[in-house]
C-alpha cells in the first residue's frame, strides 16, 4: 500500500467545514524499531518495568510518559514481584496502556505486530499480552488471522510477570495518526486482495450504533432512524456480534455511517473506495478516523453535530444529529460515489 498524505489535527482544533484539508500537518509516524530487554516485569494493565521503574514504551506517547503520575508508578513498581510468574524463553510485546480499546488494538498494537513480522526477527517468539488486553474476546479472535504467532496466557488479574527475554516492537505512530504501511499490512489480513477487490459489489449500507456505549452516543437515534431507513441503511451495534461476523458484514457494505468511536475502526474490513460518513462534534475529538480512512483508501465525509451539553468535554459528550442535514449529506455521499 502506498504511503498516503496523513493529516494531523490536534485535540480541540476547529475543523474547516465538512472536510479536513489534506495538508494540515506533518506525518506522525516513524520507522519500526525492535528493542531487546532482559528480566522485564509487567502487570495486568500492561505497564512494563525495568530495574529503574516504569518504561516509556508502556505509554501511548512520549508526552503521556512525561506527564505521568510519578508516585503512582513508583507504587506499582514496588509491587512488581507480587504474585509474579516467570516466563522463560523468548517473547514479543506489542502493547501499551491503550491497547485494550478496540481502535487502539487494530490501529496501534497490530501495526506493531506487522512491523515486527516484517523484520523477520520474531517468528520464533511467542506473543505475550497483558491480562487486560488478553481478556478482550475480539483481541483473541483477531489473532486467529496471524497464525505465525502463538499466544501466551498471561497471569490472572492482580498478578505480575517477569520475562527473561523480551523483544518489544516500539510504537510506529501516535494517535491520531496511523502508519500507512503497517496498517495496510493489518488490512490485508482481514480483507485480502483476492477476496476484496477494488469496487467489490457489496450493496449493504451500515449505520454503526453506539447505543451501548458510555460516551459519545447519538442522543436522538430514534429521530434519525426514518432517514436511515429511507436510504436502506441498517443499524448494527458491532459489540453485539462476533468479530468474524463483523468482518463479513462490513465486507459486504458500500457505505458505513457512525458517530466518532471504536465502531468506525471496522472500516478496515470495508472494500476499497467505499465511503465512510463520520458523525461528530465540530470541535474535537481527534482526526483518527479521517487518517484511517485515508490509509485504507476510503472517501471520508463529515457531518458536524451539536453536543447535548456544551459543558461536557468533547471526548464524552453525546451528540444530536440534525435529520435534515443527515438526509442531505447521505444524498450527496451516495450520489458522488454512485
Q: Which CATH class is domain 204-336?
A: alpha beta
* 233-273 tens-digit pLDDT: 999 999 999 999 999 999 999 999 999 999 999 999 999 89
| CA 82/CA 35 separation, integer angstroms | 26
Pairing status of strand 253-259 against strand 276-281: parallel
Q: CB-based contacts of 243: which residues, under 8 Å, 6+ apart?
A: 137, 138, 141, 142
What CA–CA distance (Å, rounded) separates 44 from 76? 11
The pLDDT assigned to 314 comes to 82
Nearest-angstrom CA–CA distance, 81 and 71: 18
**pTM of the entire structure?**
0.88
Dist CA 271 CA 250 (whole Å): 8
Task: Residue 111: name the closest of 299, 297, 296 by CA.
Answer: 296
Give the pLDDT of residue 316.
87
CATH 3.40.50 domain residues, the chain = 204-336
Give the residue ranges of the chain where pLDDT is below 50.
1-28, 198-199
Helices (H), the chain: 62-66, 70-78, 102-104, 110-118, 131-134, 137-142, 180-190, 221-230, 243-251, 288-295, 323-336
Asked if residue 107 lies in contact with residue 178, where contact means CB atoms within 8 angstroms, the answer is yes
Q: For 187-215, write each residue's pLDDT tens digit.
A: 999 987 666 554 455 799 999 999 999 99
The number of helix segments (H) and strand segments (E) in the chain equals 11, 13
Q: Look at residue 180 and give its three-state secondary structure.
A: helix
**Grid cell locating 29:** 509516524
DSSP assignment string, 42-65: E-TT--EEETTEE-GGGSSSHHHH
Contact between 263 and 210 (Cβ < 8 Å): yes
DSSP for 257-288, written as a single string: EEESSGGGGGGGGSPTT--EEEEEESB-S-SH
What pLDDT sits at residue 200? Answer: 56
DSSP 58: G
At residue 12, the pLDDT reads: 33
State how far the alpha carbon of 231 is from the alpha carbons of 112, 121, 161, 191, 206, in Å. Answer: 38, 49, 52, 26, 10
Res 337: pLDDT:
66
Q: Tell me the β-bridge partners of 283.
A: 14
Which letter does DSSP use for residue 200 in this model?
A: -
Cα–Cα distance measured from residue 321 to residue 226, given in angstroms and rounded to the nearest whole number: 13
Task: Please tell me the predicted confidence (pLDDT) of residue 191.
Answer: 83
| pLDDT tens-digit readout, 135-144 | 999 999 999 9
Q: Which three cell numbers stand for residue 69?
A: 503520575
Dist CA 159 CA 88 (whole Å): 17
Question: What does the alpha-carbon distance between residue 90 and residue 198 come to, in Å, rounded to a whole number?
Answer: 40
Cα dihedral sign for 114, 183, 55, 26?
positive
Shortest CA distance to 274 belongs to which of 193, 181, 206, 228? 206
Amino acid at each position: 500500500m502506498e504511503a498516503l498524505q496523513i493529516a494531523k489535527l490536534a485535540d480541540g482544533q476547529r475543523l474547516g467545514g465538512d472536510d479536513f484539508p489534506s495538508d494540515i500537518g506533518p506525518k506522525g509516524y516513524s520507522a519500526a524499531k525492535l528493542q531487546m530487554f532482559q528480566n522485564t516485569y509487567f502487570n495486568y494493565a500492561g505497564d512494563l518495568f525495568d530495574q529503574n521503574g516504569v518504561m516509556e514504551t508502556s505509554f501511548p506517547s512520549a508526552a503521556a510518559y512525561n506527564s505521568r503520575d510519578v508516585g503512582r508508578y513508583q507504587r506499582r513498581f514496588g509491587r512488581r514481584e507480587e504474585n509474579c510468574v516467570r516466563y522463560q524463553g523468548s517473547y514479543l510485546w506489542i502493547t501499551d496502556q491503550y491497547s485494550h480499546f478496540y481502535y487502539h488494538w487494530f490501529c496501534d498494537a497490530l501495526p506493531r505486530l506487522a512491523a515486527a513480522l516484517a523484520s523477520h526477527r520474531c517468528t520464533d517468539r511467542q506473543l505475550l499480552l497483558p491480562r487486560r488486553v488478553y481478556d478482550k474476546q475480539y483481541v483473541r479472535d483477531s489473532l486467529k488471522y496471524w497464525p505465525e504467532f502463538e499466544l501466551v496466557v498471561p497471569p490472572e488479574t492482580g498478578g505480575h510477570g517477569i520475562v527473561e527475554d523480551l523483544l518489544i516492537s516500539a510504537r510506529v505512530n501516535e494517535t491520531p495518526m496511523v502508519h500507512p504501511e503497517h496498517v495496510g499490512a493489518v488490512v490485508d489480513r482481514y480483507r485480502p486482495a483476492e477476496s476484496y477487490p477494488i469496487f467489490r459489489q457489496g450493496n449493504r449500507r451500515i449505520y454503526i450504533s453506539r447505543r451501548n456505549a458510555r460516551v459519545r452516543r447519538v442522543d436522538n437515534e430514534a429521530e434519525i432512524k426514518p432517514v436511515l431507513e429511507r436510504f436502506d441503511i441498517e443499524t448494527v451495534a458491532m459489540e453485539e456480534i462476533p468479530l468474524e461476523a463483523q468482518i463479513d458484514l462490513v465486507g459486504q457494505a458500500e457505505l458505513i455511517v457512525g458517530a466518532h468511536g471504536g465502531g468506525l475502526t471496522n472500516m478496515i474490513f470495508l472494500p476499497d473506495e467505499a465511503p465512510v460518513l463520520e458523525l461528530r462534534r465540530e470541535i474535537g475529538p481527534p482526526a483518527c478516523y479521517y487518517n484511517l480512512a485515508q490509509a485504507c483508501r476510503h472517501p471520508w465525509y463529515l457531518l458536524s453535530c451539536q453536543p447535548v451539553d456544551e459543558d461536557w468535554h468533547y471526548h464524552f459528550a453525546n451528540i444530536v444529529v440534525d435529520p435534515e442535514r443527515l438526509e442531505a449529506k447521505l444524498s450527496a455521499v451516495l450520489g458522488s460515489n454512485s
